[in-house]
Structure 1
Amino acid sequence: MIVVTAPTGAIGRQVLDRLLSAGRTVRVIARDPSRLPGGTRERAEVVPGSHGDPAVVDRAFEGADAVFWLVPPDPRAADPDDAYSGFSRPACDALVRHGVGHVVGISALGRGFAGRAGLVTASLAMDDLMAGTGVPHRALTMPAFMENMLTHAGSIRERGVFSSPVAPGLALPVVATRDIAAVAVRWLLDRSWRGRADVPVLGPEDLSFDAVARITAEVAGVPVRYEQVPAGEFAAAMAGAGMSEAMARGTAEMLSAKNEGLDTLEPRTARSATPTSYRTWCEEVLKPVLLA
């Protein structure tokens, strides 16, 4: 039995689909089961509720031999540590209580970074918390997702621009969620591993936001440029849009840390590279959204 958390999100949905296609017995935790992909409720056991709820994870982890762990975004959380470690503590207790054999979690690059990195610092602390249970643990550590560009679709359509605190010419790794899901499923299906480790998932190439803007314009045939904004201005805009001030600061801190080498500590290798290029992803996913 494999438990999948966040099964309606960008990564969890694809993990779930791959596991079901492989004929595996799956149980999902879904806050809103009506959002599950069609046919899932007939093919997988569904535990309604939040996987931050002690009663829900206690029920869901019973009889499980592996768990796919993904903390959902909580822009209104009190602070990043509460959003990650606070949310995950009930699951840590349930992993031990039910003797779960393996956990594959979604995390971020940045282990070894000397400074604070906002959401990334909190995510790595969550990894340490889960690994501290003694349950074999693999943290898939990622840079930015290509899917993050979907949040800029409105701004690109309306003004031809997207922005963040990241330096425009800084080349960084970027990865598609389809590739993250594929790596996660490989680890979930392989039960030979023990202990804890980080597993970098880095995409096929490093790109700057200037390069992302150029490729997006070429593929979609629309004007696109990138604009760097000060971290404080970015955080204020996020807070103005409804994010808690602590989470807005944590997000800006994470993006600023990328300018200081957060995402470049881990060299790309044949093992950590994944196949989907940004150009391919843009053609297949972002372009239809921009032109809708």
Structure 2
Amino acid sequence: MSRFTTTCEANMIVITAPTGNIGRPLLAQLLDSEEELRVIVRDPARLPDTPRGRVEVITGSHADAHVLDRAFDGADAVFWLVPPDSSRPPHDGWSGFTSPAARALAAHGVGWVVAVSALGRGTPLADHAGLVTASLAMDDLIAGSGVAYRALANPSFFENLLEDIDSIRDEGVFVDVVDADRKAPMVAVADIAAVAAELLLDRSWTGTDSVPVLGPQDLSPNDLARIMTEQLDRPVRYERQSLDELHTTLVGYGLDAAFAQGVVDMKRAKDQGLDAGVARTPETASPTSFEQWCATTLKPAVLS
């Protein structure tokens, strides 16, 4: 990726996916700033009550060039998040979704973009990692638009475990495909939002780079099971699923076959160490521990 300097005089931040797991806490943090805020949302009724009247709302999809043209007009900085689309192949979902944005960023002279991406760039696994490979291609597409760009390079989220909330509650089981003792970074989405907010409000940075957000420690599935058992005060165990079983399950749910294969390829790469290529330092670590997340998020969900 090339590096360059950009400046911009406006003070408008555009937030995509403001009702999602990352966009919602990000919007809440930016509301405390003096920046003008604009959001792109399909259904404004899903916005929390607090920002109404404080933010400008553009209704529609941020895959729509006409919506982006309105949203990026006069914008200084953009938070970009592509929602996974299980009805399309991964490349179409990430790069295809982002192509109109890259054109609109250049056309409107947007100065800075912060986007949700993934770990793995520069590793031998990066070109064979399914959804992650598509996400890294999205980064290249945005960087080529001429903006200053920061890709938030994330590992798996704690929140992914909420997909297993019923089996954790009813059977004390969660499922994945990685080795039970493979340790890897994991992160809370609130920590990703906090890093995004800091970058969007600072805007003294230039060029193109990745910003890893690694959580406070590496954890294996067995570690997760032990901590969940402690925090929930009930036994929780990990059950390893094969990649073939995962693919069959996803296709059975009606997912596009290429998208399902993209999930499988990502999971395989993670089990082979895709997320292990960046060292944890005070700059790449984030504060929320898995114990804290279990207490504040998982336990209430299990008890509800």
Place the TM-score, normalised by the shorter chain, in its bin: over 0.9
Structure 2 residue 226 is matched with structure 1 residue 240 = no
SS at match of 2:31: helix
Cα shift at 1:159: 2.0
TM-align CA RMSD: 0.9
1:209-220 correspondence runs (5 A): 209-220=221-232
**Counterpart in the other structure of 2:4:** none
Cα shift at 1:174: 0.4
Per mean C-alpha deviation after superposition, the further-off stretch among 138-147 and 236-245 is: 236-245
Structure 2 residue 47 is matched with structure 1 residue 36 = yes
Structure 2 residue 65 is matched with structure 1 residue 54 = yes
1:164-175 correspondence runs (5 A): 164-175=176-187
Distance 2:32 2:131 in 1: 33
Encode CA deviations 1:147-196: one digit per residue, 9 max, x unaligned: 11111101112222111111110000000111111100110011211110
Amino acid at match of 2:118: A
Q: How many residues align?
A: 291
Distance 2:254 2:294 in 1: 28
Amino acid at match of 2:62: H
**Counterpart in the other structure of 1:89:** 99
Match of 1:19 among 8, 23, 30: 30
* Residue segments in structure 2 that go unaligned for 5+ positions in a row: 1-11
Cα shift at 1:246: 1.1
SS at match of 1:34: helix
Asked if structure 2 preserves the Cα contact closer than 8 Å seen for 1:134 and 1:195, the reply is no
Cα shift at 1:2: 0.2
SS at match of 2:52: helix
Encode CA deviations 1:212-250: one digit per residue, 9 max, x unaligned: 011111101222111111111111111212221111111
Cα shift at 1:67: 0.1
**Counterpart in the other structure of 1:155:** 167
SS at match of 1:150: helix
Asked if structure 2 preserves the Cα contact closer than 8 Å seen for 1:220 and 1:291, the reply is no
**Counterpart in the other structure of 1:268:** 280
Match of 1:254 among 252, 260, 266: 266
Cα shift at 1:23: 2.9
Distance 2:280 2:259 in 1: 30
Structure 2 residue 16 is matched with structure 1 residue 5 = yes
Cα shift at 1:113: 2.3
Distance 1:271 1:18 in 2: 20
Structure 2 residue 143 is matched with structure 1 residue 131 = yes
Asked if structure 2 preserves the Cα contact closer than 8 Å seen for 1:163 and 1:228, the reply is yes
Structure 2 residue 114 is matched with structure 1 residue 100 = no
Amino acid at match of 1:72: P
Q: Which runs of 4+ in 1 moved over 4 A?
A: none
Identity, in percent, stands at 55
Distance 1:76 1:221 in 2: 39
Cα shift at 1:262: 0.2
1:166-205 correspondence runs (5 A): 166-205=178-217
Distance 1:253 1:187 in 2: 31
SS at match of 2:278: coil
TM-score normalised by the chain length of structure 1: 0.98
Amino acid at match of 1:201: V
Amino acid at match of 1:168: A
SS at match of 2:53: helix
Distance 2:49 2:84 in 1: 23
**Counterpart in the other structure of 2:8:** none
Cα shift at 1:260: 1.2
* Residue segments in structure 1 that go unaligned for 5+ positions in a row: none
Distance 2:30 2:44 in 1: 18
Asked if structure 2 preserves the Cα contact closer than 8 Å seen for 1:210 and 1:225, the reply is yes
Distance 2:180 2:95 in 1: 32
